Amino acid sequence: MSIHTARGYGVGRLTRAALVGACLFANRPLGAQGGSVPADSAPPKPDPPAPAAVNHLETALAGFKLTGFAEGSYAYSGRSLGDTAIVGRLYDRLQNRFMLNALAVVLDKPYDPATFSAGFHTELLVGQNATVIRSSGLDLGSQADLPHLYVTLNVPTASGNGLQIKVGRIPTLMGLEVIETVANPNWSEGNQFIYVENFTGTGVSVETKFSDHVDAQFRVINGWDQVGDNNSRKSLMGRVGLYPDALTSLGVVGYWGPEEANDNTANRYGVEGLLWRKLGKTQLWVQGDYGAEQGNTALPDPTQDAKWWALGGWVSYDFSSSLGLALRGDYVNDENGARSTF
């Protein structure tokens, strides 16, 4: 699956470019030369099948795939802070600036769900986007990060879908929107992505697809956006996905665990639901979030629990395979200031 009080919006002219690879085909070895069939008796050869469409570059090592994208932008808002920052924004946070947002290189070795097999997935992200999604405990510089770096062990199951065990730094289960904006309905990230979700988690994930209608994931992680744990207890996150038909899905995520430094008792917990529906060339998403954190010294008011909730909706329409329109509206209520203190 994949997705703010509407405040501080930058109305900008935003551009992006995505780089995709082309498949490389090796020349076929020549066979031994033999006697020619007379021209008038040789059967006509059928046209060779067209190569399958791909969106990756096959490396010299069989089974390894290389992909990536590049992204740049310009943003302007009439409500900037001192002509330098657009308050409340993330990737489009710099006022009246051209930005080198991202250059991403992804190396992937898929696993085979039908057999005992292993694979891995890694992404190197450089640029100004990396600055705001980095995790504590990993420092590649202020404008570089590894938001994906995990290995997968697949155990075959009777369903043929396998049971996957992932270990490493893995993108969150929460939300529609993801770190890579080229995969989102809108170019800019919404307030739910910015304020009420984690970006990544480092730990172990157990995942399986029970049938065409149900899948599930369960994770034990160091914490929200933590490569090195900031306390001595782990956090939990799980998701159940329901797919009544090919045009509808519902995902429910829950999380629980301590997230503040050197505090093992103040837990953050919550639930999220994401509904998707496709109607012809139109797609609709609705996402709702509720979260809370037990009182602790890291909160604006350490004497009481903090609570927040959010609701967002997206609509996209595909005019063609290469042109579409997407709209988003969202609202975040963070009355205690735990998630959005500026």
10 Å CB burial of residue 309 (0-12, 13-18, 19+) is middle
Q: Helix, strand, or coil here: 183?
A: helix
Show Cβ contacts of residue 50 under 8 Å, excluding neighbours closer than 6 positions.
Answer: none
| Yes or no: domain 57-333 corresponds to CATH 3.90.550.10 | no
pTM confidence score = 0.81
Alpha helices in the chain (DSSP H): 191-195
Q: Are 252 and 232 in contact (CB under 8 A)?
A: no
What are the pLDDT tens digits along the chain (342 aa)? 433 333 333 333 333 333 333 333 333 333 344 444 344 444 555 555 555 555 566 566 778 999 999 999 999 998 887 778 898 899 999 999 999 999 999 999 999 999 999 999 999 999 999 999 999 899 999 999 999 999 999 999 999 999 999 999 999 999 999 999 999 999 899 999 999 999 999 999 999 999 999 999 999 999 999 999 999 999 999 999 999 999 999 999 999 999 999 999 999 999 999 999 999 999 999 999 999 999 999 899 999 999 999 999 999 999 999 999 999 999 999 999 999 875
Show Cβ contacts of residue 199 under 8 Å, excluding neighbours closer than 6 positions.
Answer: 133, 135, 147, 171, 172, 179, 225
CA distances from 64 to 27, 120, 121, 149, 156 (A): 19, 9, 10, 15, 21
Domain ranges of the chain: 57-333
